[in-house]
Amino acid sequence: MLLTNAQVYCDATDTAPHSEIALNGAYVGTHFDGPKRDLGGRIVLPGLTDAHLHIFPLALFRLQLDIAAARITSIPALIDALHQVPDARRHGGWLQAAVLVEDTFTEARLPTRAELDAAFPDTPVFLRRYCGHVAILNTAALNALGLLTRQPNVASGSFRRDAAGNLTGQADEAAAAWIFARAPAPPDAQILSEISAVIDQCLAYGLTSLVEAAVGFTLGYDREAAIWTKLRAAGNIPVRLGFMNELTTDQAAARALTPQWDANWSSETLKFFADGIIGGRTGALSEPYCDIDTMGDVMHPPGVLQSQLTAAHAAGWRIAVHATGDRGISQTLDAITAAQGDDTSRRHRIEHFFVAPKGGLHTAANAGINVVTQPGFLHRMGTSIARGLGPRALGCVYPGASALAANVALAFSSDAPTGPLSPWDGIAAAITRRAPSGEPIGPSESLPFAQALNAYISGGAHAMRHDHFRSTLAPGQAADLVVLNMNPFTASPDELNDCRADLVMKDGKVVKDDL
């Protein structure tokens, strides 16, 4: 196959695009072989990677009420929308809604148990905050889970209580995860078909490789792993997939799991948490937040994270640690460095790296650690970031330019549904770095377009350990490529939001064709 009349960028920083590209089976070739296809002057790029997203909840939330997607902006409107949910989407008789961003509500707060009880005295209602770490239940749901009579032990977070000792209906962290794993879920077949729909959405954005950032985050590890296994057995998956497992080394060993790397399907990473999130003011900072009297906190006492990571490294796993505050990131850098010793080849990862600690990027670069950030957050949550961090929001938050200067392996990602799924939204945010209100967030960290795109192409391939076979469109590399509906090199950041892939190939096979 020869693709002609095109502008083929071998990689994001290519300054001399070719007018054609030869495909030799699954690889980029050097000579014409078989039929020709005229691309009408369109841009061709290597397939993009989303190195951290949550495919499973994206799929599940398509079967619930997605509050952000439905553009619901008040508590009465949410209650109204819950009343409208058809029976077919009330799995086990429950009403479930997700992606609740209370900052976008006129009340600027989460709904209460009492408000939900007044509207739904008998129907269990379960809401999930967009961060994925907070659940809100009404009395019928608390009752259905037996929480009114007994309180399960959880490792972190809490089932919150008011001053009188009554459950407020809100649960955080491991307490929320306990609920996620027990609330009724749709049948596997329905979830599988929605996973395919999410993968199709990703292809339309030009993403050909995806990393599921936490197997076990939504329905518990075993149920989710069983569903992923069914997807793999069904075959014909049009993207390359990687998985981070939300398991400790002991939990992985108990399931006889070992790290597996394959060009199409890798499960070689265990996921850990160092702290919470900046939006929830639980990310561990070295100085207090500006709008609330807390510095956030690390999730583990000193030494515990390090011993978890040491065990994972020793068992051959790659490590991914969620760390957002500068204090949480420093603790993580120390723990990874100690866990890996002289072996800097494993490419352990730090997810988010929100408020960079002084010297942290150099430490990460020297330790061979991948930094995986989400520039799309800058736009979605910029106002809350600016409020919480104050003048620090003008410094090294969500590093871009300083990460490249430090020579760190930087990959961009969406963290969807927490951030917007489109990599083009992420690239626009990495360039403009503005909150919805227009406030600048770390303006000196802005990247030029090509560098931002590169963090989704070669940065993503590096994060998946795919760089030896698919980071460019040079001869001999895998023919994973996308043909775009516009020229993103000349588009404004606003125009980038409309960028889509009309034709997508993986391993030289067409997996999407709207050209």
**Contact residues: Zn ion, CB under 5 A:** 213, 415
Residue 349 or 512: the one with the smaller Cβ distance to Zn ion is 349
Residue 300 or 322: the one with the smaller Cβ distance to Zn ion is 322
Spatial strand order in the sheet of 349-352 = 48-53, 207-215, 240-245, 265-273, 318-323, 349-352, 370-373, 409-412
Give me the least distance between CB of 50 and Zn ion, in Å please.
11
Give me the least distance between CB of 156 and Zn ion, in Å please.
16
Residue 246 or 326: the one with the smaller Cβ distance to Zn ion is 246
Cα–Cα dist 68/47, whole Å: 28
Give me the least distance between CB of 299 and Zn ion, in Å please.
15
Residue 147 or 411: the one with the smaller Cβ distance to Zn ion is 411
- N-terminal to C-terminal alpha carbon distance within the chain: 16
Beta bridge partners of 245: 215, 270
- HSE of 472, CA atoms in CB hemisphere, 13 A: 11
Give me the least distance between CB of 394 and Zn ion, in Å please.
25
Give me the least distance between CB of 376 and Zn ion, in Å please.
12
Strand, coil or helix: 396: coil
- CA-nearest of 180, 271, 218, 243 to 56 is 218
Residues 6 or more apart whose CB falls under 8 angstroms from that of 365 comprise 406, 407, 408, 409
Residue 300 or 349: the one with the smaller Cβ distance to Zn ion is 349
Question: Parallel, antiparallel, or unpaired: how do β-strands 125-129 and 370-373 relate?
Answer: unpaired
Between the CA atoms of 30, 32, 38 and 42, what dihedral angle is there, to the nearest 10 degrees?
0
Residue 213 or 333: the one with the smaller Cβ distance to Zn ion is 213
Give me the least distance between CB of 142 and Zn ion, in Å please.
27
Residue 3 or 177: the one with the smaller Cβ distance to Zn ion is 177
Beta bridge partners of 44: 8, 483
Strand, coil or helix: 168: strand
Residue 50 or 507: the one with the smaller Cβ distance to Zn ion is 50
Residue 213 or 252: the one with the smaller Cβ distance to Zn ion is 213
Give me the least distance between CB of 418 and Zn ion, in Å please.
6
- CA-nearest of 376, 385, 375 to 437 is 385
Residues 6 or more apart whose CB falls under 8 angstroms from that of 131 comprise 277, 279, 280, 418
Residue 495 burial (10 A CB sphere; 0-12, 13-18, 19+): middle
Give me the least distance between CB of 373 and Zn ion, in Å please.
11
- Let me know how many helices (H) and strands (E) the chain has, helices first: 18, 23
Give me the least distance between CB of 147 and Zn ion, in Å please.
26
